[in-house]
Amino acid sequence: MATVSDEDDDEGAVEQAAAATREPRESLVAQRMASDAPAADPGASASRTTGTMPAARRKSSSLPPAAAATGGIRDSGTMPAARRSRNRDPDSGLRPRSALGPVSLAAPTPEEVLFRLLTLTHAVSLEMREEEISLAYIDALRDLFPSRRFAVRLLGYDLHRDDPASELPRLSLVYATGRLLPHRRDHVAISREAMARHHLPDEAATTTGIAVVDEYEPLFEEGATGFDVPLVDGGAVTGVLAVEYPPGVGLGPGDPPILVPVALGLGAALRNARLLRESVYLRGYLERLLDNANAPILVIGPDRRVRVFNRAFEAMTGLGRAEVLGQDFLSLLPSEERSRVLPIYIKSLRGESTADVEVRLPRPRDETALVALSTAPILDADGEVHSVIAIGRDLSEVRSLQERIIQAEKFVTLGQLAAGVVHELNNPLTSISVYGDYLLKKATREGRDKGDVEKLGRVVAAAERMLNFTRDLLTYARPSSEEPTLLQLDQVVEEALMFCEHLLDEKGVAIERRYASGLGSVYAIRSQLHQVFINLVTNAVHAVSKENGKITVSTDAGPDASVIVRIHDNGEGIAPENLPMIFEPFFTTKPEGRGTGLGLSIVRNILRSHRAAVEVQSACAGGTTFQLTFLSKV
């Protein structure tokens, strides 16, 4: 809140005060008042001048004490002759005191009022702050009505509060031409007579926190007379202009007819300045809101020219400001899309909205983006269609995710089919294993040829290996109903490597094993850990080259009796910009059809369920290491 006051004492000071609920703001009024305030004689008010005080002004200080105590006249440009002659006569502003009543002050002439109002009209603009507007009006009133005191107190909301309606307006400005009584300064009140004069109900003031009292309450001196005028904004009283006379000086009958219209002009100027300020703020707010939206947005005029577009549209299309603003929006679309979009635009010009029309927008490098376009008409103050707003929603990523989900569902179906095939293979494999073992034992007892016995042994070993593989594969493919058990991680890793042998042989990748001894057991579900290690080894195989490809699998003891498993490959590594996203669902850098982007996401979820941690270290051309840390149960 800005507070400005011309003091009655020889300080001639301008005070700045801040309400407890609001930060103080620097006031141009305060600066101007401080620079203009000269020292005053004891018992006289401080007068502000714009230069050397003219002789007529100096003579005005000889006003009788009852009138001179409230201040002199501020010279402001050329003044009508009638006004100048009145200033030269120190008693011209006073009417003689009669035996029956107090002294009254003379009102300005119509020529003086007209001259000052014309000057005020040129001085005040809507771009001025409320302090500057109030100062200009009070300056005019001081010139027209010497020996009166004026006070303007305004209430207002802070535009930047989250909820302006959450409390009453705050006292935002106090401007006075003298020292206010301390107990009246922050207590804003208006007389019931002033409310009635302007045909305003009491609620117009009380709803904004202004008290309605039976009669005018003096602001400068107890026992003084005066009157007040409401400053109205949209039917609510948002401020009060007080006019006060010193004790012994009565209210001039010619003052209210002039002061009230001037005060109404002040209220209108403050209201218009506020509306302009709010309009500028809201315009900027909406522009920022539109520009920072993460959806591409266009505003198109009735001439098909683009009037507004945001950064999301620029980022999607790669088109700059000069290439979009003022252009026919159809020229921004691929030729095959124009005939589909034009009817949507015409429909919106007729006042109808459309939703989720799929359109392809151009992208850099001759690519296109699939967008769901929604349009709506924008109406002007008369209800006519002023323009059309088009808001897009990028469907490219959604469609890509849908395709990956379909692919993942295919893999699930294929896995179920494979599990069924493996189950059917188990029966003949069991027969081969049983009868092979019988023939091997019989040949050994009968002393058959060693070459034949060796061959039978290979048949039995291969059949047993296939049985173990199909049994583990069924366990892996079947929905897990296992309970956690104590496991040795090196054994689980070795079982997972057996699943991957065919892939390792096909790619010619070497496996190096470094298992530490004496490690504690881990409480886990075997089939789920199989899934973790198979995913990581498979990714490592895809990352290494066919020549000199190598994967190192190791186990080691970690801090706090934990067990660490590391899987390192000597592949090309993971790009730094991709590293934060590798565990996100459906994220993959593999070619189309080579992966679903779900593997590492599943790995992370399984490890979280086992209260295990995973860390990744990768360097371009330096390979990648996945480190898994499990809590052991010794």
Which of 15-24, 103-112, 296-305, 401-410 is predicted most confidently?
Answer: 296-305
Residue 150: per-residue pLDDT: 93
Residue with tokens 């040829």: 449
Q: Tell me whether strands 170-176 and 2-5 are parallel, antiparallel or unpaired.
A: parallel
Residue 520: per-residue pLDDT: 87
- Under CATH, which number does the domain 482-634 receive? 3.30.565.10
Residue 34: per-residue pLDDT: 38
Q: Residue 590 above 90 pLDDT?
A: no
| Tokens matching residue 504 | 């390792």
* Rounded mean pLDDT, 70-91: 39
> CB neighbours (10 Å) of residue 582?
20
Residues 6+ apart with CB under 8 A from 271: 232, 233, 234
Interatomic CA distance for residues 555 and 496, integer angstroms:
14
Domain 2-40+70-279 has CATH 3.30.450.40: yes
Interatomic CA distance for residues 14 and 546, integer angstroms:
85
Residue with tokens 């000269």: 38
- How confident is residue 396, by pLDDT bands cut at 50, 70 and 90? confident
Residue 471: per-residue pLDDT: 67
DSSP notation for 298-316: EEE-TTSBEEEE-HHHHHH
- How confident is residue 53, by pLDDT bands cut at 50, 70 and 90? very low
Query: Considering Cα of 28, then 30, then 32, then 35, what sign does the dihedral take?
Result: negative
Residue 582: per-residue pLDDT: 84
| Tokens matching residue 571 | 């592949």
Low-confidence winner among 46-55, 505-514, 603-612 (lowest mean pLDDT): 46-55
* Rounded mean pLDDT, 593-604: 71
Do residues 206 and 200 make contact, with C-beta atoms less than 8 angstroms apart? no
| Tokens matching residue 345 | 């635009």
* Rounded mean pLDDT, 543-563: 88
Residue 492: per-residue pLDDT: 92
Interatomic CA distance for residues 34 and 51, integer angstroms:
14
Choose between 179 and 42: higher pLDDT.
Answer: 179
- How confident is residue 504, by pLDDT bands cut at 50, 70 and 90? confident
Q: Residue 312 above 90 pLDDT?
A: no
Q: Residue 14 above 50 pLDDT?
A: no
Q: Residue 161 above 70 pLDDT?
A: no
Residue 515: per-residue pLDDT: 92
Choose between 610 and 32: higher pLDDT.
Answer: 610
Q: What residues does 245 pair with on adjacent strands?
A: 225
Residue 224 DSSP class? -
Evaluate whether 293-394 and 482-634 have a shared fold. no
Q: Residue 195 above 90 pLDDT?
A: yes
Interatomic CA distance for residues 615 and 538, integer angstroms:
18
List of E strands, 424-500: 485-487
Kindly state the percentage of the chain with pLDDT values over 90: 17
| Tokens matching residue 221 | 């001196």
CA-to-CA separations, 408 to 126, 222, 403, 413, 583, in angstroms, rounded: 64, 87, 9, 9, 16
Interatomic CA distance for residues 51 and 199, integer angstroms:
43
- How confident is residue 42, by pLDDT bands cut at 50, 70 and 90? very low
Side-chain-facing half-sphere of 224: CA atoms under 13 Å? 24
pLDDT tens for each residue of 231-279: 998 888 999 999 999 878 878 788 888 888 888 889 889 889 888 888 8
| Tokens matching residue 476 | 């892996």
Residue 92: per-residue pLDDT: 42
Q: Residue 27 above 80 pLDDT?
A: no
Choose between 508 and 424: higher pLDDT.
Answer: 508
Side-chain-facing half-sphere of 269: CA atoms under 13 Å? 24
Find, among 148, 177, 181, 176, the residue nearest to 63 by Cα: 148
Residue 212: per-residue pLDDT: 94
Residues 6+ apart with CB under 8 A from 527: 475, 476, 478, 480, 482
pLDDT tens for each residue of 347-357: 899 988 888 88
Residue 84: per-residue pLDDT: 41
Sheet with 94-95, edge to edge strand ranges: 94-95, 103-105, 249-250
> What type of residue is 479?
P
Interatomic CA distance for residues 481 and 484, integer angstroms:
10
Low-confidence winner among 437-441, 489-493, 614-618 (lowest mean pLDDT): 437-441
Interatomic CA distance for residues 304 and 180, integer angstroms:
61
Kindly state the percentage of the chain with pLDDT values over 70: 77
Residue 395: per-residue pLDDT: 83
Q: Residue 359 above 50 pLDDT?
A: yes
Interatomic CA distance for residues 92 and 252, integer angstroms:
14
Domain 398-479 has CATH 1.10.287: yes
- How confident is residue 215, by pLDDT bands cut at 50, 70 and 90? very high
Residue 6: per-residue pLDDT: 53
pLDDT tens for each residue of 131-154: 899 999 999 998 889 888 999 999
Q: Residue 207 above 80 pLDDT?
A: yes
Do residues 520 and 632 make contact, with C-beta atoms less than 8 angstroms apart? yes
Q: What is the mean pLDDT of the chain?
A: 77
| Tokens matching residue 568 | 């390192």
Interatomic CA distance for residues 485 and 524, integer angstroms:
6
At the topology level, CATH places domain 293-394 in: Beta-Lactamase (3.30.450)
> CB neighbours (10 Å) of residue 171?
22
Q: Where are the domains of the chain?
A: 2-40+70-279, 293-394, 398-479, 482-634
Choose between 412 and 280: higher pLDDT.
Answer: 280
Q: Based on the number of CB atoms within 10 Å of its own CB, is 551 exposed (0-12), middle (13-18) or buried (19 or more)?
A: buried
Find, among 495, 553, 500, 568, the residue nearest to 529 by Cα: 495
> What type of residue is 265?
G
Residue with tokens 């890509």: 400
